[in-house]
Amino acid sequence: MGDETRLAHLIEEIAQGKRVPYLGPGVAALSPGAAPASPSDLCAAIEAKVRAPKRATGNLWSVAQFVESRRFRRTLEAIVQEVFTARPVPGSLHRWIVRARPPLVIDAWYDGQILDAAMAEGMGTWGWVQGISRNGESRDIWTLAYDSTGALLGEAPDPAWETLVYKPHGLIRPGHSFLISDSDYVEVLTEIDIQSPIPDEVQNRRTGRPFLFLGCRFDDQLLRTYARQVAKRAGQGHVAVIEGPLTRMEEKFFDEMGIERLDLPLSAVEAAVSVPA
């Protein structure tokens, strides 16, 4: 079976609710005028505002920690909020996912295109749950959930929703929270092995469903850790669409997780779903 034929089967499995789409920053990059669409691009945008020490340069989480420690959290938030001011029209892949209405969508980047697409298209009953920074929090809290209008519901999503969007790293948008600095991730990574930061409803909906990774790279240890834990106890048979050579650590991660790789560009996925404007 060729990669294009295999991809068509995977797309159909998402439409049937049998496979979970896991979206990385590369999907956000498909829309013209999008905000930074990789950790390195976002890191460069922060460093353009604040000069970081050489030991941190090029590492998003470390640079964010430097800004947070030296300039305070509000400065870090102001910088990244400005970077994410653009609200591009969601691309065809976002729109197709919204129309397919899978039970679970995982969006592992900071932009809100999938949410904008859902609000514009209508996605039945839906809402989202996002990871939040515990900076300044005295409560033992990991997530906040919002309904389809953007109204805050509390910590947990509604099990009755037809579709649940899970944004594990949060949402960079006014009024919302996100994880970006080393300190943001310290407690989460301490607890994530026992799944505490992952909402029960996300855990329920991933059960028996393998993932299709789109627009993701796994050349960063933190991103591998998150993907590994979010996919924990999901169905077997994960697939990733990644064009070109993999790094040594990506190859090792794929072997460990049993991830099949399709060497195709994301444009092939767009062509496969072919949603009209």
Please write the tens of the pLDDT for every residue from 201-211: 999 999 999 99
Distance between CA atoms of residues 15 and 102, nearest Å: 6
Taking the CB of residue 188, how many other CB atoms lie within 10 A of it?
23
202 within 8 A of 228, measured Cβ to Cβ: no
CA distances from 14 to 4, 62, 142, 229, 271 (A): 16, 36, 28, 21, 15
Helix segments in the chain, DSSP class H: 3-15, 25-28, 39-47, 60-71, 73-83, 92-100, 113-121, 182-191, 200-206, 221-230, 248-257, 266-273
Domain residue ranges of the chain, discontinuous segments joined by +: 3-35+90-273, 42-83
pLDDT of 275 > 80? The answer is no
Distance between CA atoms of residues 30 and 21, nearest Å: 16
pLDDT value of residue 187: 85
Give the architecture (CATH level 2) of 3-35+90-273.
3-Layer(aba) Sandwich (3.40)
Q: In residues, how long is the chain?
A: 277
DSSP summary character for residue 88 = P
pLDDT value of residue 135: 80
pLDDT value of residue 33: 79
Residue 247, token pair as written in the block: 């790094």
Q: What is the pLDDT of residues 81-105, one digit of tens each?
A: 999 998 899 999 999 999 999 999 9
Q: Which amino acid is at 140?
A: D
pLDDT of 193 > 70? The answer is yes
pLDDT value of residue 86: 86
